[in-house]
Structure 1
Amino acid sequence: MKIRILIISILAIITASSCASRKKIVYFQDEALEDGQLTTEPLQLTYKPDDILTINVSALDPETVRPFNLPTVSNNTNDLITATSSTQQQTYLVDYNGNIEFPVLGTIKVEGLTRTDLTALLLERIKVMVNDPIINVRLANFTITVIGEVANPGTFTIQDESITLLEALGYANDLTIFGKRKNVLLIREVDGKKKFANIDLTSINTVNSPFYYLQQNDVIYVEPNKAKIRSSTFNQNNGVLISAIGTLATIIAVFLVK
């Protein structure tokens, strides 16, 4: 009888310890925001050295804007089965002085400018020579990095200039069950210095954090929880061994009781 009680107690302890706490797993546990409104808006990115820009100038008469556009580069793929070709627009690299070299206009200072600022600057200078020009500016190397306890860690190139923390975690296929929801670390470079912020994904107030909208080259690190850290110290076969020993001990105990 005592052995049977002991076995039941051990099984109860194992079951209790294997149950994850809801407070450690579920996102946004507190009350929803009033009217469901965000109080934080996306920040306009400002360009800086090492940014890569695509700038396209168009107009009703394509010939009038041809001098303001870089020539396209042809990419040819040839093999025994297929032969394909495509064109790719050349890009502008922002140099260490924050400048780009633009056709006809020469050196242009873009560091510290937003897309709106740069578009307005180019429009003002080009419209003197071209009727009704249209300027399209895009940041080509907007990337974010997600590492740690996520399903698909890596560096991701974003097609737009606005992305939220949750969207970035979506690119990484979400946190694993072992990731700490209450202590997600965001690393951001501001004026050449690293800034750090801890974000609690279990709180709905995260969406109003100044770090909810990401900036270029932000790094998100998801810390592993204690269970994952403890498991890393065990051999991969230990779980199978412990399970086998437990099963054998149960069988022996049943026979002893009889």
Structure 2
Amino acid sequence: MKITRLIPTKIVAIFIVMMTISCASKKDIVYFQDALNYETIVNEDVFVTKFKVDDLIGIFVSGKTPEAGRPFNLYRGAQEGGIAAEQVDYLVDLDGMIDFPILGRIKVAGLSPNELRNELREKLTVYIKDPIINIRLKNFEVTINGEVNRPGTYKVNGERINIMEALGLAGDLKIKGRRDNILVMRDFNGVRNYMRIDLTSKNAVNSPAYYLTQNDVVYVEPNKSAINSSNQDSRAGIIVSIASVLITSTVLLITRN
């Protein structure tokens, strides 16, 4: 009878251990855990988007009359049958330059939209009085992979986005996504940087990875609970088989006794 009691006890112990290992604690899943109630922090953020190689920039120049800015805007095709010609965007080449009508080659890599606007305005005042310059980054996208609900590449409307907003686009992290060691991969003019950010701490907002730049890749790795669950799934068939054998043996022992 000792054997009869021992075998079911082992089966129960196996399942208890499996349940315990797969549980995640509060400190693994809560954002900004060290933020105090009613805590106020002065925002000293000075982040601005900078243009990179391979960026696609939309630039439209206008003046007091439509004719004033026309020579400085590139179009594809001609306006026919009421269909307007398509404006051409500027691709930043490997040297960080764009070819601008009349003004020639201009260095834009490393400049913010506002810095480029000021530079163009200074150059254009020779040709246009009080030029109006609209600049927009056309290929601002971020890619989010790993333990998120909707992994993929997302287009950003605007000139900047923080990592919390980006994760929101991806449906937030899954419960088993690791929040304290998120990887951000950033390529700036041929130099690739790898940065880690801990979203369980309020200090995350001071990280250089908090604000994303165009074409950043964010990867959320699985936490220990997810890894353990994966290992358990791969061993599930073996455990079930062993449990079946043990249960069968127990039934036989009880029947014989």
Matches of residues 116-195 of structure 1 in structure 2 within 5 Å? Answer: 116-190=114-188, 192-195=190-193
Shift of 1:126: 1.8
Q: Which residue of 2 aligns with 1:59?
A: 63
Number of paired residues?
247
TM-score (norm 1): 0.78
Does the CA-based 8 Å contact 1:145-1:155 persist in structure 2?
Answer: yes
Cα deviation, 1:153-196, whole Å, max 9, x if unaligned, reads: 22222122211011111122111122111111122234633222
Q: 1:95 to 1:33 in 2, by over 3 A?
A: farther
- Cα RMSD, aligned residues only: 3.4
Of 13, 24, 36, which aligns to 2:40?
Answer: 36
CA separation in 1, counterparts of 2:165 and 2:194? 19
SS in 2 for 1:181: coil
Shift of 1:6: 6.9
SS in 2 for 1:180: coil
Q: Which residue of 2 aligns with 1:24?
A: 28
Shift of 1:5: 7.1
Letter in 2 for 1:71: Y
Shift of 1:253: 8.1
Any stretches of 5+ residues in structure 1 without a counterpart? 75-84
Higher strand fraction (1 or 2): 1
Cα deviation, 1:210-254, whole Å, max 9, x if unaligned, reads: 221112222211111233334445667x75896799799899989
Q: 1:55 to 1:190 in 2, by over 3 A?
A: closer
Cα deviation, 1:68-117, whole Å, max 9, x if unaligned, reads: 1112568xxxxxxxxxx786421011112222111222222222222111
Q: 1:15 to 1:95 in 2, by over 3 A?
A: closer
Does the CA-based 8 Å contact 2:22-2:228 persist in structure 1?
Answer: no
Matches of residues 32-111 of structure 1 in structure 2 within 5 Å? Answer: 32=36, 35-37=39-41, 39-71=43-75, 88-111=86-109
CA separation in 1, counterparts of 2:238 and 2:14? 17
Q: Which residue of 1 aligns with 2:205?
A: 207
Q: 1:29 to 1:132 in 2, by over 3 A?
A: same
Among all aligned residue pairs of Structure 1 and Structure 2, give the percentage whose two residues are the same amino acid. 44
Q: 1:231 to 1:14 in 2, by over 3 A?
A: closer
TM-score (norm 2): 0.78
Letter in 1 for 2:75: P
CA separation in 1, counterparts of 2:228 and 2:9? 29
Letter in 1 for 2:66: P
Does the CA-based 8 Å contact 2:52-2:188 persist in structure 1?
Answer: no
